[in-house]
Structure 1
Amino acid sequence: MSKFPFAGEALKSLFKAPLTEKYPLTPKEAPEKYRGKIKFDANACIGCGLCIRVCSPNAITKLVDAVEEGQNITMKFDLGSCTFCGYCADFCPKNAIELTQEYSMVVTDKNDMIVSGSFIKKLPPKKPVPQKKTTENK
């Protein structure tokens, strides 16, 4: 037996083309229907919360602040917790959530894994209070 049983295979492999891909130098397309990074359209969102209810890892949060115009609603999607199941996009009645083809999500700061958007939800106008009729002439 040889002391270096893999030496022959190593020498052969030295002169072969690499089997690995050249990513990130050569960009690669994601497969069709790939569920990648979330894209959120705050202008389309109505703040119904269906996405929050169907998100099993609780990766979506909704912050509501009272402002003069109504409510300032901020939706946050934590991609570090997201399983990319796509239920949030499937259940959104206004198609405000989309899973893109973007798959490269390597970050050094965990805050870069948060996708968020804010919008103002106007409260419905208050109905005038009906005044009681007084009977002056009895």
Structure 2
Amino acid sequence: MYASTNKMATRYRELLQGLEQRSHERVNLALECRVTLGGKRSGGTMRVVENISRTGILIRWVPADGPEDVPRAGDTLNIEMALPANHNFDRKCWFCGGTVVRVSKAADNSPLVAVRINTTKFRKYTPAANHKPVSQAPQLVTAH
């Protein structure tokens, strides 16, 4: 009986390979974010968010000034995204801390860093002193 159960489990895993296993819907974006490694609270480099869900975020590591420090699986990242301005309140940013779960390559060979979100909060927006926009204008990209 154990052998037949083991065969069924193996067959089940084979059938699941290639199927979508995400538990939350992803929203495609093209939005700048500031990324810092580990416990650092300042500095960071500007990157582009490709998509986001309730539990994860995919970041494109675009070329920047200086050497590329692409994180590895298991690394801890802090990510900040500026939110659109609201005339009634100070400008805010969305902050999250997460763990890199995968690094892959996009079609243009730029690194894609998948991060599992561990913590999240909103706080006052403070632009980086040396901020150079990665793209012309942040935009929301809708998937069809």
User: Same fold by TM (over 0.5)?
Assistant: no
TM-score by length of 2: 0.28
TM-score by length of 1: 0.29
Name the structure where helix makes up a greater proportion of residues: 1
Question: Quick check: which has more Rg, 1 or 2?
Answer: 1
Name the structure where strand makes up a greater proportion of residues: 2
